[in-house]
Structure 1
Amino acid sequence: MDVKGPQALTCPTFDYARPESFYKDNSTVLSIVRDEIFRNQSAIKLSGAVQVKTDVYDDDPSVEADPEYWESKFKPFHEYLEQTFPKVWKHFKIETANSWGLVITWEGSNSSLKPILLTAHQDVVPTQDSTIKDWTYPPYDGIYDGERLWGRGSADCKNLLIGLLEAAETLFESGFKPKRTIIFGFGFDEEIGGPRGASAIGQLLLQRYGKDSFYAVVDEGGQSLAEENDVLLALPGAGEKGSVDVIIGLNTPGGHSSVPPDHTSIGIISQLVEQFEANPFKSIFTPKNPTFHEYQCIALHSPTLEEDIKIAILSAEYDKHSNEKAIEYLYNKSLLSRYLIGTSQAIDIIHGGAKSNALPEYVEIDVNHRVAIESTVDEIVQRDLKLVSLVAHKFDLGIIYEGDEIKKKTTKGYFTVRKASSLEPAPPTPTSGRAWELFAGNIRHLYEEVAFSASDHPQHGKRIVVAPGIATGNTDTRYYWDLTRNIYRYRPGVSTSVEAHAHGVDENIPFDSHLQVIAFYFEYLQLVDDERDE
């Protein structure tokens, strides 16, 4: 295959990364994934966590405005964690940020080493009363059937929170004494953006340790295992798209509907919606996006991907025609692959009109964008303003953007445009260097040498290709960007959160996935403990 570019760097292979304890005595990590007694005890812990209802809502008050509200939700959960992990509560430092964010510190013996931060969130999305009848088991019963554990939060992400604490307590019981300080940060409103929980935790840690002071931050996200074109991939999230909600309002004169103008405000804004949907953002396929490297790995290793697509993907960085062909392939492959390589737009909310015989004086739409890695929030908003300007010119309307009149109001009315919320694309995580190699090597070690090591396992003998991925949603890591560049969004397990019905009816976790979380961190925390900072 005649392909331009240094193939040796296209998809580097990572050696297994094993802690010293694995060579001396691997019985503990193997018992985590194989021992029936450990499995059943672990199921009891996760089941109990699911049974404590910690749902949050978009319109929840601040902690200061209604402290009793938050206490009623999270005090029982904190009490459950203390009861379930008594050694952690006795021997580690337990702090709170903004009352209900948990910061748990396992002090290391070498203060010259940067600490590591491992995160998860305590909150869950609500369940709708109308769907309760559709659940196999009640959503807060935490039923374990021997293969799966069912209930809200079982997959997103009480399994990660409980798994981290199980790994820590298992390490403590094995006699492990860290040189590198280990910190657990558990926010309590990630599902509504984290402004109360992870935000306070990030501020606390930044004030205490300073900027760029952490070895790494590890949070939920990424794709645990994904099979694409017969390649078994692990895809730690090495980036996140940005996001912005653009609120566009239209003010027009009112009046009686018996004498309507040619176009009411609803009709005009409908034409704007049509403009949006007729002008999607162009896809972009560049090495700035972790998805670029993911598909280069697929192209290099797949036995089934068409040869011309392989060549296009592998040559996309250097050849315009190949880049266009790779984009066409990803655009048509699926909605997911389409929007991993470009900015999305969705008209999610529309309001307008109050009465059938009164002309609507104000209508409003909410346009949600997930911003491509290569773009910025301002670029997206400026494009939206161009579409608004086209419609404003057609109907002789003014435009006010963020309070500034950029096109003079007229007697026919005017548009208002503002950002309701925005987040720039995340800083890129380095995918070269020792820290990334250790993380990737531990993933291969976990699956190939621990979880799939039994000869009768259906995945036994399969090779895992570790490549950077991009998180499809945003996580609490937005509040930890200043702590380190090494931010890994990855939760081990044989099932992705989508497959586990996270946020939906019948949320569940294959229990092997939960045990793999514990095993992964049991090994990884030992690995990074022996590393000097880069």
Structure 2
Amino acid sequence: MFGDLNEKETLNKNWLNNDLPIHNNQRSLKKYNRWLIPFWLLFIFIISSIFGKTVYNNNLLNLKVPDESLCPILEKINPNSYITNPDNIKYILEDDKFHELLNKRFQNSIKIPTEIYDDMQDPVGNGSKDKRWYPFLWFHHYLEKTYPLIYKNLKVEKINKLGLVYTWKGTDDKKKPIMLTAHQDVVPVQEATLNKWDSPPFDGHIDNKTGFIIGRGVCDCKNLLIGLLSTIEFLLEENKFKPKRTIILAFGYDEESAGEGAKHISNHLISQYGENNFLQIIDEGTAGYENLNDRNFVFIASGEKGHLNSQIEIFSIGGHSSVPDSHTSIGIIAKLINEIESNPFKPILTKSNPVMSQLYCLAEHTNISKNLKSNILKSQIDPQANARVIEYLNSKIETKYLIQTSQAVDIIEGGVKANALPEHVSMLVNTRIAIESSVEETVLHYKNLIEIIAKKYNFGFILNNETIIEPTEKGHFKYTTIEPLEPAPVSPQNESWKIFGGSLRYFYENILNTSTTTTTNTTQDPFIITPFISTGNTDTKNYWKLTKNIYRYIPGNISSKSGGVHSVNEKINISSHYDIIAFYYYFLQVIDKVEDESFD
């Protein structure tokens, strides 16, 4: 992520001098004051020791970091004292016969094309007769046949016909439930791309030479869904683990579209358990780990940017193309597009954004340049240092929108005939809202830009049925907000975070043995677990009321050659599927033993 940035290119500016302004304007000492130097030094030392440490500790307090590190290394959690049979972890990861069973389950799930389209309506309401929902019913039948112990021992509920909720009831009602989620639906495969796939997208083919499985949904996210079910089936077959804490699996059916399935599931769970009564929710999101500057980082998405689709239309008088006005409605909306793209949202970097925690970890645990390190560490107390870090992040598209609201004009429609002036033109702007911003602030931004163009060309303006400028004889703009979603609450780095992160650290270092050594350090460096901001949205957008501890992350050693999500040749190394099962086999047993009082 940050490792790909061209540091020399970004730092080769006037701000290479990283001292605070006061250090650049030191006055020379007069001769008759030189005898005071020792006393001044002693005074500064005392003040710095008292006041400086107070400021530093207050900064840490505001960051909610429990010790004097801005990026503490989480303590590993050894699962051996928690789980029924530690040897089963090795069995899950290495047994060939078991892998054959897991492969078959995974492959067969891919063969059922649970594609979701944006125009598919509620499967219980207007869309009940839509045949495109049928594969979801086939998928349900397949799961019931494939996981007999789950369907025998767990409570299985179908929410709004197609949502799936599995409840493994714990013996202690005082313990808050944990919920693991995924989604059944996959992005459609365009027929025109079929000949570009190395194997048919719904075959679930495994290439034994490369160790990859290819097919729609292998990454996003049947890999996770089938892995979770296989974990529970394995625990039931083992018949030793008797959970005290209720375990819930929840699978929506339209995450790649409206996300209404998860909304129904959330309402159902709130009616059963109430608000803020879940210990943790873990969903899809970031995956695996990244090696940056010879250190391994696990980025857990602890927050998500907000979302807004802005539909902007212009209605104007028509006529023959031989006698046009100076600007047609297409020309005017082009002016608006130019206005929007010429006035992007301003970047902002505060400690509210999980990216700040990432940067602290980068500064504290890797060998980045001294200038960049200093600017990062001072970025929350020095505006100039903050600006320099923002410039650093803005230098690459991969990191630019981690700290800035993005805007993209994705759809435009208008005109019906070559010799007829367009009477109606529409466009859609997709916006992903920064953590520090809001839907209201975003709408105001677009409102102001539309007003500029409307006044310039004497057009009216209506915003969500509210008249801002009365329509004129020339016409009017109409701005409608669609699917507004505020930025997600950021999950705190609390005891819940430590247990999840500490378990992941043990998983990578001690089970998968993926720790690295460097030329300067022959010992194994610990994995660094750090928060991350997701620029997209998952089904967790519907689960905010259930808990404050929401993590969007898939465990596993995922090959860098995996990819093709939402595209041609979606593929992933099949071994990462076993990793999911191995991790949750022991994590569910670890979290079961934790007393809820430790989370308060």
TM-score of the aligned structures, taking structure 1 as reference length? 0.95
Partner of 1:281: 345
Partner of 1:495: 558
Q: Equivalents in 2 of 1:65, 1:395: separation in Å?
A: 42
Confirm whether residue 518 of structure 1 aligns to residue 581 of structure 2: yes
Q: Is the 8 A contact 2:562 2:572 kept in 1?
A: no
Q: Equivalents in 2 of 1:231, 1:19: separation in Å?
A: 24
C-alpha distance after superposition, 1:82-140 (max 9, x if no partner) = 12111111111111101111110111110111111110011111111111111111111
Name the amino acid aligned to 1:173.
Answer: E
Q: Tell me by how many angstroms 1:455 deviates.
A: 11
TM-score of the aligned structures, taking structure 2 as reference length? 0.85
State which drifts further: 222-231 or 122-131: 222-231
Partner of 1:108: 170
Judged with a 3 Å threshold, the aligned counterparts in structure 2 of structure 1 residues 95 and 444 are, in CA distance, closer, same or farther, namely: same
Judged with a 3 Å threshold, the aligned counterparts in structure 2 of structure 1 residues 267 and 71 are, in CA distance, closer, same or farther, namely: closer
SS of the residue 2:411 aligns to: strand
Picking from 178, 185, 194, the partner of 2:243 is 178
Q: Equivalents in 1 of 2:331, 2:561: separation in Å?
A: 38
Partner of 2:126: 65
Picking from 326, 331, 334, the partner of 1:262 is 326
Could you tell me which runs of 5 or more consecutive residues in structure 2 were left unpaired when the two chains were aligned: 1-17, 21-51, 61-67, 518-522
State which drifts further: 489-498 or 367-376: 489-498
Q: Is the 8 A contact 2:287 2:556 kept in 1?
A: no
C-alpha distance after superposition, 1:366-396 (max 9, x if no partner) = 1110000000001001011111111112112
Confirm whether residue 421 of structure 1 aligns to residue 483 of structure 2: yes
Partner of 2:79: 19
Aligned positions of 1:379-418 closer than 5 A: 379-418=441-480
Judged with a 3 Å threshold, the aligned counterparts in structure 2 of structure 1 residues 178 and 266 are, in CA distance, closer, same or farther, namely: same
C-alpha distance after superposition, 1:310-347 (max 9, x if no partner) = 11112111110110000000000x21210011100001
State which drifts further: 499-508 or 182-191: 499-508
Name the amino acid aligned to 2:97.
Answer: I
Q: Equivalents in 1 of 2:592, 2:83: separation in Å?
A: 16
SS of the residue 2:445 aligns to: helix
Name the amino acid aligned to 1:451.
Answer: L
Judged with a 3 Å threshold, the aligned counterparts in structure 2 of structure 1 residues 56 and 411 are, in CA distance, closer, same or farther, namely: same
Partner of 2:181: 119
C-alpha distance after superposition, 1:226-258 (max 9, x if no partner) = 233433211111000000011111112111111
Partner of 2:505: 444
Could you tell me which runs of 5 or more consecutive residues in structure 1 were left unpaired when the two chains were aligned: none
Q: Equivalents in 2 of 1:451, 1:517: separation in Å?
A: 12
Judged with a 3 Å threshold, the aligned counterparts in structure 2 of structure 1 residues 454 and 408 are, in CA distance, closer, same or farther, namely: closer
Partner of 1:465: 528
Confirm whether residue 346 of structure 1 aligns to residue 411 of structure 2: no
Q: Is the 8 A contact 2:318 2:421 kept in 1?
A: yes
Q: Tell me by how many angstroms 1:166 deviates.
A: 1.2
Q: Equivalents in 1 of 2:268, 2:215: separation in Å?
A: 32
Confirm whether residue 45 of structure 1 aligns to residue 105 of structure 2: yes
Q: Equivalents in 1 of 2:582, 2:362: separation in Å?
A: 27
Aligned Cα root-mean-square deviation (Å): 2.2
Name the amino acid aligned to 2:506.
Answer: H
State which drifts further: 13-22 or 109-118: 13-22
Q: Is the 8 A contact 1:222 1:470 kept in 2?
A: no
Confirm whether residue 231 of structure 1 aligns to residue 292 of structure 2: no
Q: Is the 8 A contact 2:80 2:86 kept in 1?
A: no
Judged with a 3 Å threshold, the aligned counterparts in structure 2 of structure 1 residues 327 and 206 are, in CA distance, closer, same or farther, namely: same
Picking from 80, 88, 95, the partner of 1:28 is 88
Q: Equivalents in 2 of 1:454, 1:148: separation in Å?
A: 23
Partner of 1:331: 394
Q: Is the 8 A contact 2:515 2:524 kept in 1?
A: no
Partner of 1:81: 143
Q: Is the 8 A contact 1:140 1:151 kept in 2?
A: yes
Q: Equivalents in 1 of 2:332, 2:561: separation in Å?
A: 38
Name the amino acid aligned to 1:427.
Answer: P
Q: Is the 8 A contact 2:280 2:549 kept in 1?
A: yes
State which drifts further: 83-92 or 435-444: 83-92
SS of the residue 1:340 aligns to: coil
Query: Share of identical aligned residues, percent?
Result: 41
State which drifts further: 202-211 or 492-501: 492-501
Q: Is the 8 A contact 2:186 2:217 kept in 1?
A: yes
Judged with a 3 Å threshold, the aligned counterparts in structure 2 of structure 1 residues 178 and 189 are, in CA distance, closer, same or farther, namely: same
SS of the residue 2:481 aligns to: strand
Judged with a 3 Å threshold, the aligned counterparts in structure 2 of structure 1 residues 298 and 499 are, in CA distance, closer, same or farther, namely: farther
SS of the residue 2:302 aligns to: strand
Picking from 153, 166, 185, the partner of 2:230 is 166
Confirm whether residue 373 of structure 1 aligns to residue 438 of structure 2: no
C-alpha distance after superposition, 1:281-317 (max 9, x if no partner) = 11111111111111211121112x2221111112111
Partner of 2:370: 307
Q: Which has the larger radius of gyration?
A: 2
State which drifts further: 43-52 or 222-231: 222-231
SS of the residue 1:468 aligns to: strand
SS of the residue 1:521 aligns to: helix
C-alpha distance after superposition, 1:438-488 (max 9, x if no partner) = 0000110111111127999xxx94532100011121000111111100111
Confirm whether residue 475 of structure 1 aligns to residue 535 of structure 2: no
Name the amino acid aligned to 1:76.
Answer: W
Q: Is the 8 A contact 2:82 2:593 kept in 1?
A: no
Judged with a 3 Å threshold, the aligned counterparts in structure 2 of structure 1 residues 307 and 519 are, in CA distance, closer, same or farther, namely: same
Q: Equivalents in 2 of 1:464, 1:145: separation in Å?
A: 31
State which drifts further: 217-226 or 285-294: 217-226
Picking from 488, 496, 499, the partner of 1:435 is 496
Q: Tell me by how many angstroms 1:11 deviates.
A: 0.5
Name the amino acid aligned to 1:377.
Answer: V
SS of the residue 1:359 aligns to: coil
Q: Equivalents in 2 of 1:123, 1:336: separation in Å?
A: 27
Q: Is the 8 A contact 1:231 1:298 kept in 2?
A: no
Confirm whether residue 318 of structure 1 aligns to residue 378 of structure 2: no
C-alpha distance after superposition, 1:190-230 (max 9, x if no partner) = 110211x1111111100010011111111000243123343
Q: Equivalents in 1 of 2:167, 2:313: separation in Å?
A: 48
Judged with a 3 Å threshold, the aligned counterparts in structure 2 of structure 1 residues 454 and 375 are, in CA distance, closer, same or farther, namely: closer
SS of the residue 1:523 aligns to: helix
